[in-house]
Structure 1
Amino acid sequence: MSTPAPRRRRADAERSIARIVAAARSCLGQDPDATTDSIAEAAGVGRMTLYGHFPTRAALVEAALTEALRAGDETLDSVDLSGDAREALTRLLASSWALVAESAALLAAAQGVLPAGRVRELHASAVDRVEELVHRGRREGVFRTDLPVSWLVSVVHYVLHGAAEEHRAGRVGTADVAGLVTATVRSILDTPSPGAEEPSGSLPCGTEAG
């Protein structure tokens, strides 16, 4: 029995979408200003086909970023986060910075067309992964408790993105990045040694350190 035409069309559409998203990841990963025409050409489809699946540039960029983050989550899910929270964080950072570097231009493209809230929402799983490690480290007594968790997690991600930019600009070599990221993050998260000076100033009103 032959396959019904609607099923063939659906399969063709899915393959076309996959090619477009892959091309968008590649093109936008190299140039955040890559045009939809160049993406369509790289995907081997016409403009009408591309716009049939992604009516706006924002929709296409979001699909590309979503796919990049999904692939990144698969990689990070394989990282061993058991045992000591500091060692687990070191392993996570070693894998995370490379993924951030790979998607830096794609993220820039997303920030240009998507609301900031949507970009944060798409990164939720990455944030949750670091947040859980920070909470665990605090319970183990190895990470500081005098600053809000949300602030510490944000700083970790700023360090990762900063490292990716430094590497992209050629100011930091590939072999050095993981060590620099780990040393910087550990200096921020580790419990201050006895007698260390407390942060100057107080937390904003309504902000808790826990």
Structure 2
Amino acid sequence: MSGSSERAQRADAQRNVEAILAAAIRVLARDPKASVSVIAKEAGVGRVTLYGHFPNRAAVIAAAVDRALAQTTAAIDAARLDEGDPFEALARLVDASWSVTHQHGALLVAAERILPVDELSFAHAEPMAAAEAVFARGQRSGAFRDDISTGWLVTLLHSVTHGASTAVHEGGIDAEDAPRLILATMVGAVTPPGREVPVVGGQVAESVP
């Protein structure tokens, strides 16, 4: 086999992998129970081709989670969380976190059903570290209350964001309104007691009843 033929085959294989992962993210975002056959059909490849790259459904999901993690990291990096007013940085963090959570929420549901806990913990590690840095910076500057640990604030943000995702899927709130509600909840939570809740992102951020 010539070198050009080998390169062509490698390029075809890479395109198939990219198509499979993109399809897995789309399909599992709609239905976390989606089968390998559905993913292969969405990707425009046969089951044999899919299994040629991934030995089983769990491997497809793990690779899709890795891809989603890369997208999450890119979104967080683009948010410039170490710049500007801590409240505005929090608003950018909420926007970045929500865009990824809403897009990949059902994918994570699928992952939780099949992947080891340590792999899922690793997937959340970098976003949680970025959030903790935002809260720590806000506390150091005096903008955020410092009587609540940054670890608890990260847990709260994670819970509120995933709660919003569940509410959207159940029809309780609109996806477009979710970031505002998440931000309102978090700004109310981090504002020091007795201090007026600041205006963030052009809106008055208040705790959600």
Normalised to the residue count of structure 2, the TM-score between the two structures is 0.85
Q: Which is worse superposed, 43-52 or 17-26?
A: 43-52
Matched residue, 2:125? 124
Q: Which is worse superposed, 176-185 or 20-29?
A: 176-185
- Sequence identity percentage: 40
Cα distance in 2 for residues equivalent to 1:108 and 1:28: 9
Higher relative contact order (CA 8 A, sep 6+): 1
Cα distance in 1 for residues equivalent to 2:105 and 2:52: 27
Matched residue, 1:5? 5
Matched residue, 2:109? 108
> Are the counterparts in 2 of residues 101 and 165 from structure 1 also a CA contact under 8 Å?
no
Cα distance in 1 for residues equivalent to 2:8 and 2:95: 43
Q: Which is worse superposed, 50-59 or 77-86?
A: 77-86
Cα distance in 2 for residues equivalent to 1:186 and 1:46: 49
Matches for 1:71-90 after TM superposition, within 5 Å: 71-81=71-81, 82-90=83-91
Q: How many angstroms does 1:31 deviate by? A: 0.2
Cα distance in 1 for residues equivalent to 2:32 and 2:118: 19
Moved over 6 A (4+): none
> Are the counterparts in 2 of residues 93 and 178 from structure 1 also a CA contact under 8 Å?
yes
Which structure 2 segments of 5+ residues have no match?
Answer: 196-209
Matched residue, 2:174? 173
Matched residue, 2:49? 49
Cα distance in 2 for residues equivalent to 1:50 and 1:3: 25
Matched residue, 1:30? 30
Matched residue, 2:18? 18
Matched residue, 1:138? 139
